[in-house]
Structure 1
Amino acid sequence: MFPLRVGVQAVTALKSQSRLRYANCFHGVIRQQQQLLKVRNMSNTFLKALGDELVELEEEGIMEKIDVESILAESPFDLKSTDGARVVLKNGNALVSFNAAEFEHSGGSESAVPMIVTLEHETSQSQLSLACIARNNDEGDEEEGELEIEHVVVEPLGGNKNVDKPEPYSPAIGELNDEMKTSIFEYLHSKGVDNDFASCVVNIASKREEQLYGEWLMDVKSFVEKEDA
């Protein structure tokens, strides 16, 4: 009889283990379905937030083409190219380039964007490059632009592409005497780069940065939709 009892106990144990495995498997499937449902709900919430933000941008006209010509109406500069966040303006041998992604708003009425002013001289195969900051203050009824120069260098045409060659020397503009600083600003003014132009640059950068944000929203929304499909 002893072997028979052992056999019955073994069968009972196997049945218990089988039921336990089935229960664990069942609960595992339930947990997986709950997790999928949770992820789907989160995706739907995310997609709604993205969609609502895009609708708001479209209602404000932010996603429409920027009328650069209108912004530069009283400036001698024209739009040369737009490549992603990089915008290039041109006036004769003067080029102004800036990255709209670097546009900064102080949270108050002042906003700014760094820009590079390049004056090309093809005969000498050199260029004068001025690192500047364009600022704009829209406090009050009228906008007020401000041009700030950080440093000025003479370098080969197209920039210093030789990594082994040291960077060109430039004194700290703020440490120059007043006469020298004034002459640099007047020289830039003669090329169409002044405080009013700085205000234009900030406006263009602001609008382009908003567009980039909208394009980012669309890219993220498209990804989430495809992943959730």
Structure 2
Amino acid sequence: MTAAGGERGVEWVQLWDGRRWPGRVRDGLPEFRFGQAPAGLSTRRQLRQRGLSRGGQEPFARLTWKRDRRFAWLYVDALAKAKRIPTGKQLAAVNKALAARKVCAECGPVEHCVRTTDQLCGDCYAAGVTPTAGGTDGWRTVQGWQDDTDVESDADEDAARDDRAGQDEAATAARRAADALTRTEAALAAADHADRRAAEQVERDEQLNRWHADDRAARLAAEQADTDTEQWADERGVA
């Protein structure tokens, strides 16, 4: 795994099988950029996709990308080993161990793994269940804490009920005030309309009275003119 300068400033890395490959050495390990690693090297994911494991070998090189901010270890394919397939007994032991981690010391089997410190499920821990002085075999419920919680819950419910009642009363008063305002506006509008109609009626009556007076004056003037004409004719002997 030595590096040596070559033609045109290219840095060459000595591989495990004697080949030389362009790359660089950092912290004692060969390093290749993404897409430039030699054949025969694979990441753990690539080995797993082929049903292989690294077989206990240490990383031979490092694969870098994103300007060396990301990297993955590279392993020699020739030293990789086939992944071990668990037997039925091994799978049964694993399932048994997982099932034991899903048993609450207070309420029994649950759907999730319990806490490793006190073997309580989430519900029991939230409810205030704590281990007794004798160890983790027995558990007790802190009744005083629950009583305080119940009292606080009752007080909270009463306060919430009072708040809701106050809000309902305020809403009812607001609706009543809005209805009264609507009725007042309607009454004012009706009164204004009635006043306008009355004023219009008075104006029409006054106009009619003026017309009647003018008509009466015109008739009187016509009658007076006829009378004057007749008198004038009589005085002059006009038949």
The TM tier, using the shorter chain, reads: under 0.3
State the structure with more CA Rg. 2
TM-score w.r.t. the length of structure 2 is 0.25
